[in-house]
Chains A and B, each alone.
Chain A
């Protein structure tokens, strides 16, 4: 054990340790701030997406409610085929996993709802469209 080299090591150690501790402190501060900002951003995206999904589903639910009300007033208002289609649409809406945004089937389920809605409209001979979202229509059209 060389007392001289010990002193040298200790001397260097302090600067190295200082560098380390500064990094650690900076990292802790950055992480804390990032967490806050990330949560904020996530919250905003969640709010927007949730709003969009909710608004579209609400639109379809609203239409189903009106149609069901019409059928209560006049049970013969619609053909049995249309009644069946509306019931199927209601089932699809009811089974949509609203509280599971990470569910991998949500896109497929929303597409099924949109399709069933179009069938009901076709058979009611009405032109109803949910305007709130850019539709699943591709912008570029193929000319073949």
Chain B
């Protein structure tokens, strides 16, 4: 049933407490069956320097099964699962990125990626499982290649942003990387051939209908032909990224372009946005609210447009730092906040 046709509600189904400081990031395991058979597994990282793993048991409730601590010496800012679900990368303000491997019911730190000069802000795993990318306040983006034996080689250091890089995200289908920054721009990076020659193929800034303040997050839809970015300028922007799928090399990289700007829905910096496999965009902001958007179908002639599906005011008591849809259950959304809690929501249709 088309979501647009019905009335919907976002129902809070669980509140996860335990972190001793603000929760910065969330990541749902894309293949939890590879990690002991749980039906759902959520990783959360916090200012309390730990990472928590929450697993769904038979009661359909998430319980904290593991706390990964005593590794990072400062805030853990971001976490990401490998496509096979057996590895978890955690990025920290202590300037390192740790790689954890699921071994016999527990997680073991098998590698530490060092190189950034200061706080690492984000880590992302490519869908091919070959690459990892990290970004930092040192304005650089590092690309790492997975080697046999849990080894990681730095294959490129990308310079170009003039300020703190807030987030990096791989395209869901091809090895193209996007980075967003305090310098208000969005940069697209791709490899020329196979020679570690990565360079910036496009910069989306104010001139390209881009953001006019810090860009905090970026997310692709599941088909990889659309991308959403959120910013301190209080808007969400939707971009057409369909050329990424038809591209085979960087020679004639066809530009990504702006499709739509969503403004007036949040009164504070929008820290996070995520696209469900069903096409619902969730956003979380400093106004403590959660918003959901869907594409307005019908006008096939004009530019695609998006409309607000619902707004949940006071979803949390403080800033919302991250929102993530469960890839295995497209109506389940998790949100993390400065208030130290994680909330699990269910998108329900009401008659």
Contacts and interface: CB of A to CB of B under 8 A. Distances in A.
A135 B113 CA distance: 20
Contacts of A141: 93, 118-119
A81 B196 contact: yes
A1 B276 CA distance: 105
Contacts of B115: 118-119, 121-122
Contact of A115 (B75, B93, B113, B140): B140
Contact of B113 (A122, A138, A143): A122
Contact of B117 (A79, A119, A136): A136
A142 B113 contact: no
A81 B153 contact: yes
Given A81-B196, A141-B119, A122 B154 contact: yes
Interface residues of B, number: 18
Contacts of A136: 117
Nearest to A116: B157
Given A115-B140, A137-B117, A143 B154 contact: no
Contacts of B153: 79, 81, 123
A81 B155 contact: yes
A4 interface: no
B251 to A, nearest CB: 23
Interface string B77-114: 00000000000000001000000000000000000011
A115 B157 contact: yes
Contacts of B137: 142
Interface of B: 47, 75, 93, 113-115, 117-119, 137, 140, 153-155, 157, 159, 164, 196
Interface of A: 79, 81, 84, 115, 118-119, 121-123, 127, 135-138, 141-143
24 contacts: A79-B153, A84-B196, A115-B140, A115-B157, A115-B159, A119-B115, A119-B154, A119-B157, A121-B114, A122-B114, A122-B154, A123-B153, A123-B154, A127-B114, A135-B117, A137-B117, A138-B118, A141-B93, A141-B118, A141-B119, A142-B119, A142-B164, A143-B75, A143-B93
